[in-house]
Amino acid sequence: MLYNLHTHSASNIPEVFEVVNRYPYEVIDVSYFSTGIHPWHIDTDKVDEHLAIIEQRLQLPNCLALGECGLDKRIEIPLNIQVEVFEKQLVLAKKYQKPVILHLVAAFQELKAIKNRLQPGVPMIVHGFSKNAQVAKQLLDNGFYLSFGKYLLRTPELSAVFAGVPEDRFLLETDTIEEGIADVYAKAALARNMDIDVLKSIVENNFKNIFKDGGMDRAGRAFV
């Protein structure tokens, strides 16, 4: 089984277990999903409505995570509004004990401060990681997981960063890329100079550790 932490398009491949992103205004048309308010898509007139939908969905057994949500300093939406919406979502993640899939751009210090203050007590995964080893270490030292996909395929120098991440702290994803999760696994195995079956076992264990309180396989059995 290949595990895809984060995608916006279901592949419907039997050998792939994927968490498909569905925003509050999108219908749930997939087996397993995450849901949250992306900082790019904050509509201040509809935040309360969207939060109510998210809270309802977090109670569903096939809703595996909150997200993607987070902070992005490179967009026009004021950071204080982003922080307010993000914190309200973390409160829900804590209440329903759901892992959080994070969109994070140039806001590590803010993320760290919010996590320390709110103490959500759930796994938090920075998806689409693309930065250097120093940033990776800061995130890892503060308890975050890292998910790799698009930039691992696109940016050669990221292979060395990925190779240095501890085995129990990474996941793989496709997000919006055209390539499949099998392509990401192949690149990841090459980057770590590792047999792909060994990599599959590592990612499976990490996925199950993060989502140990929820999730079912395609036959309806708990995957842990």
Question: Residues 34-63: pLDDT tens digits?
Answer: 999 999 999 999 999 999 999 999 999 999
Enclosing H/E stretch for 115: helix 108-118
Q: Is 41 annotated as a binding residue?
A: no
Check pLDDT > 70 for residue 215: no
Q: Is 87 annotated as a binding residue?
A: no
Question: φ and ψ at 19, to 5 degrees?
Answer: -100, 110
DSSP 59: T
Closest CA to 37 of 96, 91, 82, 97: 82
Question: Residues 83-92: pLDDT tens digits?
Answer: 999 999 999 9
At 213 the pLDDT is: 56
Bridge-based pairing state of the strands 124-126 and 100-105: parallel
Q: Is 103 annotated as a binding residue?
A: yes
For residues 181, 165, 120, 84, the Cα torsion angle rounded to the nearest 10 degrees is: -70
At 212 the pLDDT is: 84
Q: Is 8 annotated as a binding residue?
A: no
The answer to whether 175 touches 9, Cβ cutoff 8 Å, is no
Question: Residues 131-164: pLDDT tens digits?
Answer: 999 999 999 999 999 999 999 999 999 999 999 9
Give percent above pLDDT 70 in the chain.
95
Sorted by where each starts, the structural domains of the chain and their CATH numbers stand as: 2-210 (3.20.20.140)
